[in-house]
Amino acid sequence: GLVRVNLAMEDIRKLVASLSFGSTGYGFLLSAKGVYLADPVEDYVYQQRTIFDIAKERGDNARQRLGEKALAGQSAEEETTSGVTGQGIWIFSEPVPVSGWSLGAVFLKEEVTLEPRDLRRGLIRIACGVMTFVFLLALLMFHAERATLRGLWRIAETSAIALIAG
């Protein structure tokens, strides 16, 4: 059947902002249509800008490709330049299966060593961040504080899917 969910977007923004992506990284969240749902540049969120709007304004093909992969429900990694600082950045995104959204992370290139061991650790952090986000989103979606037995099973199933995907 159809499951209706009513979440406060402010709670989701706080959740994304609280995820740890190392000392220089930050997270963002895109809707299934590429609209920013959470980002440190709050104007993107409040003006309902899409990743494609930003890519077009900046002539940024990397963001365009990342947005296309996000809409297709695929993982993505791109190298580009920060529109805020002008520094080189790495952008990664992972689909959030429950909602069709994409959770992304941005890291400054000059502060990230690209040794395979460190890169693996960074990717593991992103995967853990996505799994944590999905788990916390499930808690919000299925109202864990007053969940029925069916709701608790849905939380457990969603968490299991996130862990298996991770």
Higher pLDDT, 133 or 23: 133
Query: Does pLDDT of 123 surpass 90?
Result: no
Distance of CA 144 to the CA centre of its chain: 22
Reported as a pLDDT band with limits 50, 70 and 90, residue 63 is very high
DSSP string, 54-71: HHHHHT-HHHHHHHHHHH
What is the side-by-side order of every strand in the sheet holding 88-96? 36-38, 26-30, 101-108, 88-96, 76-81
Query: Does pLDDT of 116 surpass 80?
Result: no
Reported as a pLDDT band with limits 50, 70 and 90, residue 3 is very low
Q: What is the mean pLDDT of residues 102-107?
A: 87
The pLDDT value recorded for residue 4 is: 46
33 with 50: CB under 8 angstroms?
Answer: yes
* pLDDT tens profile 23-56: 677 889 999 999 999 888 889 989 999 999 999 9
Q: Tokens at residue 125, please?
A: 């952090």
- Cα–Cα distance for residue pair 107/56, rounded to 1 Å: 21
- Cα–Cα distance for residue pair 8/74, rounded to 1 Å: 26
* pLDDT tens profile 4-15: 444 567 777 777
CA nearest to 21, candidates 133, 135, 129: 129
Find the distance separating the first CA and the last CA of the chain, reported in whole Å: 26
* Residue 122 φ then ψ, to 5°: -65, -45
Please state, rounded to an integer, the average pLDDT across all residues of the chain: 81
